[in-house]
Chain A
C-alpha cells in the first residue's frame, strides 16, 4: 500500500503545523523544569557534613535523586521544594534556602518517604535535624514557639480542664502520677528556653 504525492504533502503539512505550534509554545513560556540558577557564592559546603553529623544523618550522601521520597509524600504537591529537592539542596550546600523553607515545618513526619527510600536515607529524620538547626537560628513558626512556651511554663501540652469528664469515667480528677516540674527543669537548660526567651 502506497501514498500518492498529495497525501504525503498533507501529512508533512500537518506535521509542520504541529511542529511550529510546539515551537511557539516553547518560546512563549519556558519549560517548567527550568529553575533559577543557583548562586554558587552563597553555597555552604560544610552544610552536608553538619547534617551528616546529626542524628540519623549519616546516609545523606547515598541519595541518588530518584525522587521516590517525593512520590511517597502525601503533600509534596503543595510544596515549592519537594523532598528530593530538599535533600539535593542540603548536599549542594543551600543552607539558607533549606533552613528558611516552610516545607521543613510542613513535614507531616509520617515517615512514608523514609520507609520507601531505596538508598536508606533517613529523610524524615534529616528534616527533624534541619528543623533543629533552623530553630537554633530562630527560624521557627510562631505557633511552634507557642508550643515551646506551653512546655516550658506548664511542663505539658494539654492540661485537664474538664475534670468532671474524668470522674464520669470513674477516673481520678487529677492525672495520677503527673509531675510537670521535672520537664520544666530539663527544658530551662536546653534550646526550648532560648526559643521562648527570644519570643519575649
Chain B
C-alpha cells in the first residue's frame, strides 16, 4: 500500500462530494492510502496568482512544505490545485533566491520547502503508480461500446514543461474501462471557468462550444478531472437552454465515477445522483 497526502482543495469538498467519495473508493480498491493533509487550506487558484504572486507562492509553498515533513507525495483531484502546486514547486526548484525568501516566511511556522514531496494529479498517480495492467485486472463491468469525450482541462496539460502530464495518460485510463475515446475538434479548448468572474457571457460561450463539439462528434458522455471544468460543462449545460436555446443532454462524469462503475461500484457509491445532467444512459448500459 502506498500512502499519499490528499490535498482536497476547497471546490471539491463543497461542490463535488461525489467526486471526493468516488476518488477515495477507487483509491481503496487499488490500495492507495489517501490521507487528508492536516492544516492546509485553499490554493488561491489562478485568481490569487493574477493579483498577488507573492501571496500565491507562499500559500502553496506552505502546503508543499507540510507534505515535505511527511515524506509522501501530494495527490489532488483538482486541476486548479494541481496547477498552482505544480507551478510553485517548479518555480521554487528553479529559483534559489525566491526559495530563500519563501522559506524565511515559512520558518515562523517551523516549516521549510525542500521540494521532495511532489504535487501530483490523482489521475497521474493512478496511471504511473498503479498502471494500466493492474487497473485492467479489476475491471468487472466494462463500459464496452460507450463513447467518451475527454475534457482534460488546461491546467492539467499546460504549460507542459511544468505539468508533465501527457494526454495519453487519461486516454489510456478511459480506454482501460472498455470505453472508446471520442476525438472531437475542440479537445484542447478551455471550458471557460477562469473568466467566469470577469465575463460570464464569454465563459458560457466557451462551455457551450465545448459541449456542442463533443456531442456532434458522437460522444455519449464527457469525463473531467477538475471541479471547475465539471461545473462549466455539467451545471452550466442546464442553462444553455435559456441562453442558446440548445439542449445537449450530455452527462459529464468525473473520471473516478467512470472507473468506479467499471470496477463494480454502484451508482450510489460514486454519487451519480449528484450529477446535474442525468447520467441514466450509463446505468442502462451497465444493467442492460
A and B: interacting chains: yes
Taking beta carbons and an 8 Å cutoff, which residues of A are in contact with B? 55, 74-75, 78, 105-112, 114-115, 122, 124-125, 128-129, 131-132, 135, 140-141, 143-144, 146-148, 151, 155-162, 165-166, 168-171, 175-180, 182-183, 186-187, 190-192, 195
A132 x B41 contact (CB < 8 A): no
Is A135's CB under 8 angstroms from B197's CB?
A: no
The verdict on A124 contacting B159 (CB below 8 Å), with A143-B197, A147-B197 known, is yes
B8 within 8 A of A: yes
The answer, yes or no, to whether B266 is at the interface (CB within 8 Å) is no
B18 within 8 A of partner (CB): yes
A125 → B minimal CB distance (Å):
8
**Known A111-B158, A155-B42; contact A191-B195, beta-carbon cutoff 8 A:** no
In the complex, identify which listed stretch (B43-51, B112-120, B143-151, B217-225) lies at the interface while the others stay far away.
B43-51
Which residues on A sit within 8 Å (CB–CB) of B197? Answer: 141, 143-144, 146-147
Interface centre among B11, B42, B274 (most CB of A within 10 A): B42
Whether B206 lies near A74 (C-beta < 8 A) is yes
Given contacts A106-B198, A111-B155, A122-B159, 5 further A-B pairs with CB under 8 A are A55-B91, A108-B154, A109-B46, A147-B48, A182-B41
Interchain CA distance A155-B130 in the complex, whole Å: 34
Partner among B21, B45, B58, B188 whose Cβ is within 8 Å of the Cβ of A186: B58
1/0 per position for B52-76, CB-CB distance to A under 8 A? 1111001100100000000000000
Complex Cα distance, B91 from A158, in Å, reads 26
A106 to B203, CA, bound (A): 10
Contacting pair A115 B51 (CB below 8 A):
no
Q: Residue of B at shortest CB range from A166? A: B17
B-side contacts of A158, CB under 8 Å: 10-11, 14-15, 42
For B50, give its contact among A128, A155, A157, A178 (CB under 8 Å): A128
Chain B stretch 22-51: residues in CB contact (< 8 A) with chain A = 36-42, 44-51
A157 to B197, CA, bound (A): 12
Are A132 and B52 in touch, CB under 8 angstroms?
A: yes
Q: Which residue of A lies closest to B19 (CB)?
A: A169
Find out whether the CB atom of B190 lies under 8 angstroms from the CB atom of A166.
no
**Interface set of B (CB-CB < 8 Å, partner A):** 8, 10-11, 13-15, 17-18, 20-21, 36-42, 44-55, 58-59, 62, 91, 105, 109, 154-155, 157-160, 188-190, 192, 194-195, 197-199, 202, 206, 271, 274
Provide the residues of chain A in CB contact with B41, threshold 8 Å: 155-156, 178-180, 182-183
* Secondary structure type dominating chain B contacts: helix
Q: Which 5 A-B pairs have the closest CB atoms?
A: A111-B158, A190-B55, A110-B190, A169-B21, A156-B42
CB pair B51–A186 under 8 Å, yes or no, is no
**B32: shortest Cβ distance to chain A, in Å?**
17
Chain B residue at smallest Cβ distance from A129: B53
Are A78 and B42 interface neighbours, CB within 8 A?
Answer: no
Q: Chain B residues near A112 (CB, 8 Å)?
A: 154, 158, 188-190
Give the complex CA separation of A128 and B219 in angstroms: 35
The reply to whether A135 and B51 contact each other, CB–CB distance below 8 Å, is yes
25 A-B residue pairings within 8 Å (CB atoms): A74-B206, A108-B192, A110-B154, A110-B158, A110-B189, A110-B194, A112-B158, A115-B160, A135-B50, A141-B197, A144-B197, A146-B197, A156-B41, A156-B42, A157-B44, A157-B47, A158-B15, A159-B10, A162-B14, A178-B13, A178-B41, A183-B42, A183-B59, A186-B62, A195-B52
Give the CA-CA distance A121 to B53 in the complex, in Å. 19
- Inter-chain contacts of B36 with A (CB < 8 A): 175-177
Once bound together, how far apart are the Cα atoms of A16 and B285, in whole Å?
69
Q: Min CB distance, A77 to chain B, in Å?
A: 11
CB closest chain-A residue, reference B39: A179
A111 near B154 with CB under 8 A, answer yes
Instruction: Give the distance in Å from the alpha carbon of A74 to the alpha carbon of B109 in the complex.
Output: 43
Q: A108-B195, A111-B154, A124-B159 are in contact. Are A151 and B42 (CB under 8 A)?
A: yes
* Nearest-Cβ distance from residue A181 to partner chain B, whole angstroms: 8
What are the residues of chain A within 8 A of B188 when measuring CB–CB? 112
Choose one: A55, A109, A124, A187; the contact of B59 (CB below 8 Å).
A187
Q: CA–CA, A41 to B157, complex, Å?
A: 42
Asked if A115 and B53 sit within 8 Å, CB to CB, the answer is no
Is B8 a contact partner of A175 (Cβ separation < 8 A)?
Answer: yes
